[in-house]
Amino acid sequence: MSYARLFTLNLGAGNSGLADLRAQLLTTAGVDSGAAISAGFTEIASGTYLWLKEDFADTFRGAVKFYSNADAATVLGIGAINPEECVDVKLIRQKAVNKLTFNRTTKVETVYNDDGITADYTQTWADDGTTQTQGVKT
């Protein structure tokens, strides 16, 4: 299984029309992982680009740096890649429709600065297609 991520690059009007953008995946140690990627870039406004990669391995964690192939030493942008920030929506829908057993637990912690309350939420999708949500303040 894999997951997709969409990144935005706001490079400014001076960098519009770049046809040689590259994305280089980096490990958590900052070392290149695989070859540079030239596919998936779309300019949506003058100097503003989208980059979509639809096949990150579930276990990949690290970052991606962006650059122009004409000047590979100049990093134009960087973004974090953390699998827990992505959800495989197709899998969730498929499991719900097929009513297969699917137990996924998601924990979200939010600290409110004014009173220091932390809220933990757990969601579990059950085999009957229902969703249960539980909140606990600590």
* pLDDT score, position 4: 81
**66-78 exposure pattern, b = at least 16 Cβ within 10 A, e = fewer:** bbbeeeeeeebbe
Q: How many CB atoms lie within 10 A of CB 55?
A: 8
Q: What domains does the chain contain, in order, with CATH numbers?
A: 2-85 (2.60.40), 89-133 (no CATH)
* pLDDT score, position 19: 95
CA–CA gap between residue 26 and residue 28 (Å, rounded): 7
* pLDDT score, position 117: 45
Per residue in 4-59, pLDDT (tens digit) is 888 999 999 999 999 999 999 999 999 999 999 999 999 999 999 999 998 888 78
Q: Which residue has the higher pLDDT, 123 or 83?
A: 83
Average pLDDT over residues 117-130: 46
Q: Which residue has the higher pLDDT, 68 or 127?
A: 68
pLDDT at 120 over 60: no
CA–CA gap between residue 123 and residue 126 (Å, rounded): 10
- Report the sign of the C-alpha dihedral through residues 35, 49, 56, 28, in that order: positive
pLDDT at 130 over 80: no
What DSSP designation does 37 have? Answer: B
Per residue in 90-117, pLDDT (tens digit) is 555 555 555 444 444 443 433 444 444 4
pTM: 0.62
